[in-house]
A and B are shown apart, each in its own frame.
Chain A
């Protein structure tokens, strides 16, 4: 359980897809002019990542890893189809996006219309392929963790594009120098946000070390103070 929570927060804040590894920057820059469209695209990215990362994990486990083909028969134990990863991942992503598009169009035409061109464009968003490739290179261990990773990376990307869209809407009324207007200032602001997100790097360092000893409880024993109160009645004459 703890590793799920750790992976969740790590993927959103520390390994944020936009600020730490710069995935999905093209659509991030192009779509962040209004908050409403940014939210739509962010939600679509979360959805597609949540589906494709576990699917590609299954492919990686049972087809692509060295020795993965053992389930076909023991003589296949030495095959290493790792070099096919790129083509298989991108094929599943393109197919899944196409499927999602068809399903969304059938069951929720209003959602389909509001997403518009973004849904097919997601297939070539490097954040999606990047999610699967990082899942492979970081050797995520279980299907549950893969789902977790997909959703949390998506949420990280969503947070980033939401923040930059909100900022861009506000700075449209600011006095940005002409050559920096639009794209230039967005780059710089994103860089500053990235610096801010670096501060999350210290968030989970406690988890990797040995569990610290519980701080010793300082017990204050109430010592009974025995007072001998001499009850001496002095009769003063």
Chain B
């Protein structure tokens, strides 16, 4: 494989910051907010989208010259739906508890705008290798935001990371809890995810002022 050329490497690094699918392109918000109460769920969702977007981008790119324009959306939907069915069945088989937590949001990967958005914007006009890199890059950008939001929500909301208590024991009052600190249960509620993403956008646009809207 060798080293990626500069342009190819940019396909992966751009969506991680400056062209982030969630905070800049405003795609894929739904699942980013709903399942990030646990870091584990965020990670699994990130991997699922990585799989679907990576392979989906390649498949659509390979078919780009033979898809008739009128049924473009339907073909894309079928490709994504099939990949998501695979992901869903694998999750149900190997991580049943997690598939219950993620519930309908695994299915909603089908309508995840990042996937359709990248198909339309990139895969339909570029070759398979570049499309694969673009898919990986955008999925990683998506996963990064999910992990950051999930990290703060789980840490501040239940004092655990991946289910492992890291701030002490809230019942025995050891560690940080002995100073009187309490878990902020509000962090586990859906609206806090929106506010955390708003704060991430604030930080991002303060660092890169070209992204500010008028």
A51-87 vs B: 1/0 string, CB under 8 Å?
Answer: 0000000000000000000000000000000011111
Q: Is the CB of B212 within 8 A of A129?
A: no
**Interface residues as binary, B115-138 with A (CB distance below 8 Å gives 1, 0 otherwise):** 010000000000000000000000
* Known A94-B73, A130-B108, A187-B201; contact A87-B191, beta-carbon cutoff 8 A: no
Interface check A25, CB cutoff 8 A: yes
Closest A residue to B115 by CB, please name it. Answer: A124
Q: How many angstroms from the CA of A72 to the CA of B28 in the assembled complex?
A: 40
Encode B152-178 as 1/0 by CB contact (under 8 A) with A.
000000000000000000000000000
Complex interface: chain A residues within 8 A of B111 (CB)? 90, 124-126, 128-130
* B81 interface residue per 8 A CB criterion: yes
Residues of B in contact with A (beta carbons under 8 Å apart): 23, 26-31, 33-34, 73-74, 77-78, 81-82, 84-85, 88-89, 103-104, 107-108, 110-113, 116, 189-195, 197-199, 201-206, 209, 212-214
| B205 and A191 contact, CB distance less than 8 A | no
Chain B min CB distance to A22 (Å)? 4
> B-contacting residues of A (Cβ < 8 Å)?
19-26, 29-30, 83-87, 90-91, 94, 120, 123-126, 128-130, 133-134, 137, 177-188, 190-195, 198
Contact partners of A182 in chain B: CB under 8 A: 213-214
Q: A20-B190, A130-B108, A194-B190 are in contact. Are A179 and B212 (CB under 8 A)?
A: yes
**A178 near B108 (CB under 8 angstroms)?**
no
Nearest-Cβ distance from residue A29 to partner chain B, whole angstroms: 6
Residues of A within 8 Å of B190, CB to CB, are 19-22, 194
**Contacts A25-B33, A87-B78, A124-B116; A187 near B108 (Cβ below 8 A):** no
Are the CB atoms of B77 and A184 closer together than 8 Å?
A: no
Are A87 and B82 in touch, CB under 8 angstroms?
Answer: yes
List of A residues within 8 angstroms of B28 by Cβ: 26
Given A125-B111, A191-B192, A22 and B29 touching (CB < 8 A)?
A: yes
Closest Cβ of chain B to A54, distance in Å, is 18
B195 surroundings in chain A (CB, below 8 A): 187-188, 191-192
* In contact, B30 and A181 (Cβ under 8 angstroms): no
Option from B26, B89, B113, B214 in Cβ contact (under 8 Å) with A183: B26
Bound state CA distance, A195 and B198, in angstroms?
15
- Is the beta-carbon distance between A21 and B34 smaller than 8 angstroms? yes
Task: A29-B29, A183-B26 given; name 4 further pairs at CB < 8 Å.
Answer: A180-B198, A180-B205, A184-B201, A191-B198
**Which residue of chain B has the shortest Cβ distance to A28 in the bound complex?**
B29
Partner of B107, one of A22, A133, A184, A186: A133
A134 to B85, CA, bound (A): 17
